[in-house]
Amino acid sequence: MAKVRTVYVCQNCGAEHSKWAGQCSQCGEWNTLVEEISQKSKVKSQKLGGRTQSASSQVVRLSELKHTPQSRGRILTGSGEFDRVLGGGIVPGSVVLVGGEPGIGKSTLLTQVAMKIVQGSTSRDPSAAGKRASSRHAQDDEDDLKSISSSSNKQGEVLYVCGEESVNQVGLRVDRLGEMSNDKDQMTNLLLMAETDVDVVVATIEQEKPVVVIIDSIQTMTTGDLTGMAGSVGQVRESALRLITVAKQTGTAVFLVGHVTKEGSIAGPKVLEHMIDAVVTITGERTGLWRILRTFKNRFGPTDEVGVMRQGEAGMEDVVNPSEAFLEESQQGKPGSVVVVLMEGTRPVLVEVQALCVKSQLAMPRRVVQGVSLNKVQLLAAVLTKQCRLPLGSYDVFVNVVGGLKVTEPAADLGIALAIASSVKDKAVSAKTAVVGEVGLLGEIRRVVHLEKRVKEAEKLGYKQVVGPADYTSVAETVRKVLV
């Protein structure tokens, strides 16, 4: 094999250097040099492979297209919430990055997905699942399975590449997660491989053609063509590129596990975002109960979808009704507690906002927030000071969203403002009352989108009243009438 030449390319100005340096000699930026395979040697190796194509590539008529990835059935993951954030299941040939802090449950979730797929409890498309559920005899089941496996991929074979753990450790996790429903025979299609060389992984995928491959994690993958260490930007990007290529060729869906550091700087995954099909992040307090799944990018579905899971005894469990779960231990009816109705993706979710306001000893009173933006709270505090004559200038204000959700919607404004006012005045919003509405700078209440959906969800959970723009026109009026 021809030796591949590598160069160090400045990510700021594009200058090529033959050696790594801390500073780019062209533009003077620091830490911008990333090892890449030289363009010249790429062209050369293509020519060596006998593929000297002319400049024009092949064109395909749209009417002749039959097997675009979207038209093939999706693979269900066995978790309704994970399917939801993926846009309705796994698209064959897609590459999805699953990011999150270490220990948040990425490996656990993907191990569960792998187990579900090999157990055959999922199928390539929902109609087949329905057929199977309705069939009475085992023979019918087998026929259905055969018809499903007629595609090029082997039914249910999943390759789990462990770069961080030993095969035994993953095996132990499978045992632990599968204790309740385990049937060892069903696990024969789960292939484990301890490997960090991406070229070996690619060769294995080409040979085995599994339905799904899980790379745990992309930061451990390296190729011998680059000299950089595992986890360096060059290695991560080149490894991902090779996996993406093989995914598109074989139709195998690839999940890349990517660790995000606490500081938010994603050494690696951030540079992949533009290359891959979807980015799913898992957030939540490591010791807490809830895990929030969110998409930042998705070529095959909406990007604002949110999934809610619970870290349970048997791994990650779906939370079918997030509102009920989030409100389980809520303090509604007490001063400082307000329930708001948010839209998370396409579904309304009720969450509790808590505020605590106490007389401050400081010249600059404190504003401490969790789950809402500090700017938002400062703005609402200013509105309350001006419009309702609340002496917030001498109060410390703490605001928290229960359950770990991040509230970014303007529709939560009125709820947050009411919670603050409620704590200062030591008066409560009555239980079984939810609040929606955007607050303007002059204290006016604006209308919100999907009001009907929100009201319906609140009613479903037994809420008697949804306070919003239809009832009051200003924050001052709401504070006067609603707090008792």
Q: Which residues form the interface with Zn ion (CB under 5 A)?
A: 10, 12-13, 15, 24, 26-27
CB closer to Zn ion, 20 vs 296: 20
Secondary structure (DSSP) of 198-250: HHHHHHHHHHH--SEEEEE-GGG-B-TTS-SPTTSHHHHHHHHHHHHHHHHHH
By C-beta, is 22 or 264 nearer to Zn ion? 22
Three-class SS of residue 310?
strand
**Closer residue to Zn ion in complex, CB, 34/279:** 34
Beta-strand runs (E) in 12-94:
16-17, 33-37
Between 15 and 241, whose beta carbon lies closer to Zn ion? 15
Bridge partner residues of 359 (DSSP) = 395
Q: Which parts of 316-431 fold into alpha helices (H)?
A: 322-326, 374-388, 413-425
Neighbours of 67 (CB within 10 A): 12
Sign, CA dihedral 386-387-388-392, equals negative
Nearest residue (CB) to Zn ion, 24 versus 247: 24
- How far apart are CB 15 and Zn ion at their closest, in Å? 5
Return the number of the residue (23 or 168) whose C-beta is nearest Zn ion.
Answer: 23
Quick count: other Cβ atoms within 10 Å of Cβ 350? Answer: 22
What is the Cα–Cα distance from 35 to 40, expressed in whole angstroms?
14
- Is-contact 160 191, C-beta < 8 A? yes
291 three-state secondary structure: strand
Q: 13 or 442: whose CB is closer to Zn ion? A: 13
Q: Taking the complex as a whole, how short is the minimal distance between the CB of residue 308 and Zn ion, in angstroms?
A: 44
- Closest distance to Zn ion from the beta carbon of 11 (Å): 8
| DSSP 3-state of 81 | helix
Q: Which one-letter amino acid corresponds to residue 51?
A: R
CB of 12 to Zn ion, least distance (A): 4
Min CB(263)–Zn ion separation in Å: 24
Rounded Cα distance, 74 and 31, in Å: 41
Between 34 and 247, name the residue whose CB sits nearer to Zn ion.
34
Least spacing, CB of residue 473 vs Zn ion, in Å: 56
Reading the block at residue 215, the tokens are 């790379």
Rounded Cα–Cα distance for residues 198 and 211 (Å): 18
DSSP string, 110-134: HHHHHHHHHTT-S-SSHHHHHHHHH
Which residue type occupies 78? Answer: G
Judged by beta carbon, residue 10 or residue 383, the one nearer Zn ion is 10
Nearer to Zn ion, 15 or 289 (CB): 15
CB of 216 to Zn ion, least distance (A): 34
- In Å, what is the CA distance from 458 to each residue of 216, 281, 455? 40, 28, 5
Can you tell me the distance from the alpha carbon of 221 to that of 388, in angstroms, rounded to the nearest whole number? 58
